[in-house]
Amino acid sequence: MHLRKLIAGNWKMNKTTSDAVALARDLAAALGQQNDIDVAVCPPFTALESVGKVLDGSIIKLGAQNLHPEASGAFTGEISAPMLRALFVTHVIVGHSERRVLFGETDSFINQKVLTALKHQLRPILCVGENLAEREAGATLRIIQTQIEAAFEGVSKELAPSVIVAYEPVWAIGTGKVATAEQAQEVHGFIRGLLAKLFTETVARKGRILYGGSMKPANAGELLGQKDIDGGLIGGASLEARSFVDLVRAAAEAK
Ligand code: PEP
């Protein structure tokens, strides 16, 4: 069974509100008729409300880049799930490698975020991936297994398919070094097998697994043509309408 592909853009710490609105307008205009693919964009928090208004009525879903496990309280600088829901956010990136590496997020903290997102009907886009040293040491699958098992701890089999996994080899993020289609498929197939072991075959079949790491219009077709690659999480190439739209079209062709 082929799942409907999802292309999600992670705008990271880029775009003022007016720049974000301009990009969202271009995307909504270009992708208005593209209803064979799921599309989401994750602007910075400051632009969520304005971008949400622009996207209202379009096929493009609104995602956030992070959330805190608690609903409210003394957590200066943090954003909660109810705050995101109030802005009609539907997806949230959790455990991005930049948060793991630069902000010290642990597997158990990421697990709390996954559980919180699900509790508030937000779809987590759970990022997992090995760094270069881990790949070179032959530890890729072990690292992925540890991250997935920890992140899914306490998730019910009913809700497990709502977690979108994004395999993002850290060495391929923002570096221009893309994993080969074979390297990516090997890990995606492994993740699907692991979900079947942790939950059921049905969960594994229904759960989407995205690839992320220097995906561009030029390499998207081959990656997205792999049997277990159900879409992409896109950083750099999501910051311009032309490249993001081309990626969405490549996904539509690869389905
Ligand atoms: C990302 O950071 O999620 C990502 C995939 O970035 P890039 O596409 O720029 O490698």
Which H or E run contains 180? none
Which structure tokens are listed for 96? 């991005």
- Structural domains in the chain (count): 1
Please give the distance of CA 120 from its chain centroid, rounded to a whole number: 18
Query: What is the distance in A from the centroid of ligand 1 to the CA of 154?
Result: 28
Question: pLDDT at position 177, please?
Answer: 87
Cβ atoms of residues 129 and 144 within 8 Å: yes
Query: What is the distance in A from the centroid of ligand 1 to the CA of 250?
Result: 17
Question: pLDDT at position 255, please?
Answer: 67
105 classed as catalytic = no
- For the domain that residue 222 is a member of, what is the CATH number? 3.20.20.70
Length of the chain: 255
Domain assignment of residue 159, yes or no: yes
Question: pLDDT at position 149, please?
Answer: 98
**Ligand 1 touching residue 66 (CB < 6 A):** no
Question: pLDDT at position 1, please?
Answer: 58
Residue type, 111: N
Question: pLDDT at position 176, please?
Answer: 86
Domain assignment of residue 31, yes or no: no
96 classed as catalytic = yes
Question: pLDDT at position 20, please?
Answer: 98
Which residue in 105, 130, 168, 188 is the catalytic one? Answer: 168
Task: Tell me which residue range forms the domain holding 173.
Answer: 95-235
Domain assignment of residue 104, yes or no: yes
Cβ atoms of residues 178 and 169 within 8 Å: no
Average pLDDT along the chain, 255 residues, taken 10 residues at a time: 90 98 97 88 98 96 98 98 98 98 98 98 98 96 98 98 97 89 97 98 97 94 96 97 96 86
**pLDDT digit string (tens) for 139-190?**
999 999 999 999 999 999 999 999 999 999 999 998 888 889 999 999 999 9
Which structure tokens are listed for 216? 């561009």
Domain assignment of residue 118, yes or no: yes
Question: pLDDT at position 32, please?
Answer: 81
Query: What is the distance in A from the centroid of ligand 1 to the CA of 241?
Result: 16
> Ligand 1 atom closest to Cα of 10?
3
Query: What is the distance in A from the centroid of ligand 1 to the CA of 213?
Result: 5
Strand boundaries in the chain, DSSP class E = 6-10, 38-42, 60-64, 91-94, 123-128, 164-167, 209-212, 231-234
Q: Whose CA is nearest to atom 2 of ligand 1?
A: 235
Cβ atoms of residues 204 and 169 within 8 Å: no
**Ligand 1 touching residue 95 (CB < 6 A):** no
From the list 173, 69, 62, the residue with the least C-alpha distance to 127 is 173
Q: Whose CA is nearest to atom 6 of ligand 1?
A: 235
Domain assignment of residue 197, yes or no: yes
**Ligand 1 touching residue 165 (CB < 6 A):** no
Residue type, 186: E
Domain assignment of residue 150, yes or no: yes
**Ligand 1 touching residue 234 (CB < 6 A):** yes
Domain assignment of residue 149, yes or no: yes
Distance, in Å, from the CA atom of 129 to the CA atom of 111, rounded to the nearest integer, reads 15
Question: pLDDT at position 38, please?
Answer: 96
Which residue in 68, 96, 98, 130 is the catalytic one? Answer: 96
Domain assignment of residue 27, yes or no: no
